[in-house]
A = this chain, B = another copy of it.
Amino acid sequence: MPAGIKDVAAQAGVAVGTVSNYLNHPELLSPTMAQRVADAIDEVGFVPSSAGRQLRLGVSSVIGYLASDIGNPHFGEVAASVQNRAAQLGLSVFLADPQHDEEREATYLDAFAQHHVRGLLVASHHQVEARLALLRRRGTPSVLVGQHAASPEQPSVSIDEVAGGRLAIEHLAEVGCRRVAFVGGPHSIVQVAARRAGAETAARERGIAFEAFDVAERSVSAGRGIGEAIASRPPHERPDGVFAVNDLLALGMLRTLTAEGIRVPGDIALIGYDDNEFAEASLIPISSVSRRHREVGEIVVDALFETIQGRPLAAVHQQLMPVLVPRESTLGRRRA
């Protein structure tokens, strides 16, 4: 039985409306009253109920951010800029991380909708558009992050992942690789599939040998596994350039490759994806493809804000071009 506005009113000997005014329109109150109400609030330990408020008002000032994997540093970097921008606009952000579990993802989406968040930022690896369309019809707007939406109704902000894959391979080609490998998976993840498609096309265009290593999760330890697989081949059967679908994989590979005496980039040039902090911090800094997390975070919040306000978006689907960030794990090869 938490104290409510009524208890405060009783304690202060005023009407409930007066307490409400103290909370929301303090300028209407005489200083005397204000003080009395303030004291009463303190005495009864009153916490405004957002349930009550929302019920009456129909809205909250919270936006929901559904993230696919908080463990990945790339996410943290986007999240930071989202939070900052949202704070500037007077919005709070509640995060939820379904941990790759598609069912839990749906649960969280519903939870957000039921909490009547103002809007949703959704960074998913699954096909969520149908579900988002439903929520939108039910009154919760959303912006899809990092995935190009198909529907003209569904705002989205994404990176051209096909171009990203292409960028990586073209860079490998430029530093002299003739036989490249793509490391990533699973293909059900749209971004992974797109990067691979771009990579494969680029390789074909340049007449470079292409092969793919499949991986169940995009983690450091998965990278190690593939690194070992490559190291165990006879040298002339190894690729001379590897494109890992994210930096975590690249990091893991770098570790086993060098441990097995394979020189990076001398024997194998290595490029990752995401441009996260650890790619740069590595002993052999890893080349990567930046998804421009800071910009994306801001754009995405702005787009959601516009949508919430009911203003039409200049561009429903914004697609940013990824940026190559060459570092020693590929560049060093030129010297060789």
Contacts and interface: CB of A to CB of B under 8 A. Distances in A.
Contact of A252 (B55, B219, B220, B281): B281
Contacts of A80: 70-71, 97, 99
A139 B77 CA distance: 34
B47 A139 contact: yes
Contacts of A25: none
Contacts of A114: 47-50, 53
Nearest to A65: B95
Q: Chain A interface secondary structure, helix, strand, loop or mixed?
A: helix
B92 A96 contact: yes
Contacts of A282: 255, 282-283
B138 A47 contact: yes
Of A50, A84, A108, A281, most B-chain CB atoms within 10 Å = A281
B55 A49 contact: yes
Of A49, A70, A282, most B-chain CB atoms within 10 Å = A70
A287 interface: no
Contacts of A280: 220
Contacts of A140: 47
Contacts of A84: 99
Interface residues of A, number: 62
B138 A45 contact: yes
Contact of A283 (B79, B104, B284): B284
A225 B218 CA distance: 31
A81 to B, nearest CB: 10
Contacts of A93: 96-97
Contacts of A53: 114
A51 interface: yes
B87 A104 contact: yes
7 contacts: A50-B114, A51-B115, A92-B96, A92-B108, A220-B280, A255-B281, A283-B283
